[in-house]
């Protein structure tokens, strides 16, 4: 059953493809991105009401010719600024006047359809949900719970890379408050042993992703026959894992980091077509607590991608303490509800300092706070110097092993939100 009209955005290696996609969806029209290597058949499968071209590519002319043969409206948006009033007007006119869009892309409609789709697909089969505690996996769990709560087992794996106090919080919310069947596995030693001596960020992500699946396989054997594995993959994960001829930005543990062999019949990814703000809206639709819906994003690989270079237990402990101090001071200052995401990073750089009137040679911790809507673009937050000063003073005085704190003032792009 088709619940939405679709516009296909052909990404000819453009810089603003995500911005254009968000602009289309904000006008209540569903869109999907395809790369410059997409074939005509792939585009036709979406039965598009319109096609948007963005960016430049060596294959541009050939793609334009192929797209024109489909007989649907085409908008070349490469010279249009969709953030300007005129650009937004042009885009809206194309969607609603030229393509005859109905504006049927709403999170209420998506939620209702997805629950029915999951009911039909799952039936009475068993489902294992990879629950991290973040909003993505939480919404997935809630959708499955709505579809058939008796078939669902949520597995929360503590890989030792969670923030300070978070494992306990996850158990409290999902088992005690929401009443889900939650299995809590402490696999921290297993993960940290596998990660010993690994410096490359891509290797770290892939190791973490593979170990996640292995843990789930083992748990599934204890539960019995499990037909489906649920993961909280969202659309930015897929885009950043590579579209068309554009290079990989980074692997995500639930996309490019998956091993080739999985002991499950099928993986379910209920929110894989959604941007982060859309996932939050679905969270409200399914009745999740607001504190869970508004929980700041946390990467699947956890602090593993905020510990630059090789992960050691000593450096991880330093990072957890520094991050806790930052979160505590942000909350005290009343900025926790004003910032989309904020965290600490332990770098692999040491510098000379002074501790207790003695020369020290210790790590540098970086602080990052950003504003974003969908995780595809982000702007650094202009935090008051008073807050930064308090955080810096506390970290350098309370956390042994750190003698320098810096603040990251880079937006996305050119940087990514995470450091690895």
What does the CA dihedral 180, 274, 342, 377 come to, rounded to 10 degrees? 180
Structural domains present in the chain: 6-98 (3.40.50.880), 107-293 (3.40.50.620), 306-407 (3.30.300.10)
**Per-residue pLDDT at 252:** 46
Confidence at 25, pLDDT banded by 50, 70, 90: very high
Please tell me what DSSP assigns to residue 412: B
Is pLDDT above 90 for 210?
no
**Per-residue pLDDT at 263:** 59
pLDDT tens, residue by residue, 95-144: 999 999 999 999 999 999 999 999 999 999 989 888 888 899 999 999 99
In whole angstroms, what is the distance from residue 231 CA to residue 98 CA? 37
Is pLDDT above 80 for 283?
yes
- Most confidently modeled range among 65-69, 336-340, 390-394: 390-394
Is pLDDT above 80 for 240?
no
- The SS3 assignment for 198 reads coil
**Per-residue pLDDT at 19:** 83
**Per-residue pLDDT at 214:** 85
Residue 11 φ/ψ, nearest 5 degrees: -85, 100
- The SS3 assignment for 369 reads strand
pLDDT tens, residue by residue, 403-417: 999 999 999 999 999
**Residue position matching structure tokens 């254009």:** 20
Confidence at 260, pLDDT banded by 50, 70, 90: very low
**Per-residue pLDDT at 169:** 84
Confidence at 259, pLDDT banded by 50, 70, 90: very low
Q: Do you know the residue count of the chain?
A: 420
- The beta strand positions in 167-242, using DSSP E, are 182-186, 228-230
Environment class of residue 121 by beta-carbon count within 10 Å: exposed (0-12), middle (13-18) or buried (19+)?
middle
Is pLDDT above 90 for 187?
yes
Per the structure block, which two tokens stand in for 357?
A: 């009137």
Residues 6 or more apart from 7 whose CB is under 8 A from it? 24, 29, 30, 31, 32, 48, 49, 50, 51, 52, 95, 99, 101
Q: What mean pLDDT comes out for the span 239-262? A: 50
- Among candidates 418, 380, 376, 378, which has minimal Cα distance to 23? 376
Considering only 177-191, 241-255, 323-337, 374-388, which range has the smallest mean pLDDT? 241-255
**Per-residue pLDDT at 58:** 59
C-alpha distance across the termini of the chain, in Å = 40
**Per-residue pLDDT at 303:** 95
Per the structure block, which two tokens stand in for 21?
A: 């996609």
Q: What angle do CA 297, 299, 303 make, to 5 degrees?
A: 115
Q: What angle do CA 96, 115, 134 make, to 5 degrees?
A: 95
Is pLDDT above 70 for 14?
no
Q: What mean pLDDT comes out for the span 142-154? A: 93
**Per-residue pLDDT at 223:** 78
- Most confidently modeled range among 40-49, 54-63, 187-196, 239-248: 187-196
**Per-residue pLDDT at 241:** 64
- Among candidates 347, 346, 356, 309, which has minimal Cα distance to 325? 346
- Most confidently modeled range among 57-61, 179-183, 337-341, 345-349: 345-349
Is pLDDT above 50 for 249?
no
Helices and strands in the chain: count of H runs, count of E runs: 14, 13
Please tell me what DSSP assigns to residue 15: S
Looking at every residue in the chain, the average pLDDT score rounds to 87
Residues 6 or more apart from 48 whose CB is under 8 A from it? 6, 7, 8, 70, 72
Environment class of residue 12 by beta-carbon count within 10 Å: exposed (0-12), middle (13-18) or buried (19+)?
buried
Residue 310 φ/ψ, nearest 5 degrees: -65, 140
pLDDT tens, residue by residue, 188-207: 999 999 999 999 999 999 99
**Per-residue pLDDT at 15:** 60
**Per-residue pLDDT at 230:** 87
Environment class of residue 34 by beta-carbon count within 10 Å: exposed (0-12), middle (13-18) or buried (19+)?
middle
């Amino acid at each position: 059953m088709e619940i939405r009209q679709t516009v296909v955005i052909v990404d000819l290696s453009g810089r603003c493809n995500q911005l254009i996609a968000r602009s289309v969806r904000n006008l209540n029209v569903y869109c999907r991105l395809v790369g410059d290597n997409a074939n005509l058949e792939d585009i036709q499968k979406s039965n598009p009401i319109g096609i948007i071209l963005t960016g430049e590519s060596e294959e541009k002319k050939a793609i334009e010719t192929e797209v024109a043969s489909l007989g649907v409206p085409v908008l070349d948006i490469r010279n249009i600024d969709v953030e300007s009033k005129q650009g937004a007007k042009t885009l809206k006119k194309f969607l609603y006047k030229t393509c005859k869009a109905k504006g049927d892309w709403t999170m209420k409609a998506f939620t209702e359809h997805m629950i029915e789709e999951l009911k039909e697909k799952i039936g009475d089969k068993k489902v294992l949900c990879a629950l991290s505690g973040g909003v993505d996996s939480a919404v997935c769990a809630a959708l499955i719970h709505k579809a058939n709560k008796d078939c669902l087992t949520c597995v929360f794996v503590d890989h030792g890379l969670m923030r300070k106090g978070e494992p306990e919080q996850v158990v409290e919310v999902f088992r005690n408050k929401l009443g889900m069947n939650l299995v809590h596995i402490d696999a921290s030693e297993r993960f940290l042993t596998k990660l010993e001596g690994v410096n490359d960020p891509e290797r770290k992500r892939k190791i973490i992703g593979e170990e996640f699946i292995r843990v789930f396989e083992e748990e599934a054997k204890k539960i019995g026959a499990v037909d489906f594995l649920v993961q909280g993959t969202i659309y930015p994960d897929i885009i950043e894992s590579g579209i068309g001829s554009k290079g990989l930005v980074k692997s995500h543990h639930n996309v490019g980091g998956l091993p080739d062999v999985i002991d499950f019949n099928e993986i379910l990814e209920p929110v894989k077509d959604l941007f982060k703000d859309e996932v939050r809206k679905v969270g409200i639709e399914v009745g999740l607590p607001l504190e869970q819906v508004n929980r700041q994003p946390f990467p699947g690989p956890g602090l593993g991608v905020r510990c630059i270079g090789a992960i050691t237990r000593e450096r991880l402990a330093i990072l957890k303490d520094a991050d806790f101090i930052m979160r505590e001071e942000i909350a005290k200052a009343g900025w926790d509800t004003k910032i989309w995401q904020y965290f600490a990073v332990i770098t692999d750089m040491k510098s000379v300092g002074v501790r207790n009137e003695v020369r020290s040679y210790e790590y540098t911790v970086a602080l990052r706070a950003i504003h974003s809507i969908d995780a595809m673009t982000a702007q650094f937050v202009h935090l008051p110097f008073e807050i930064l000063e308090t955080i810096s003073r506390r970290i350098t005085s309370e956390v042994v092993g750190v003698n320098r704190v810096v603040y990251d003032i880079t937006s996305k792009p050119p940087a990514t939100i995470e450091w690895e």
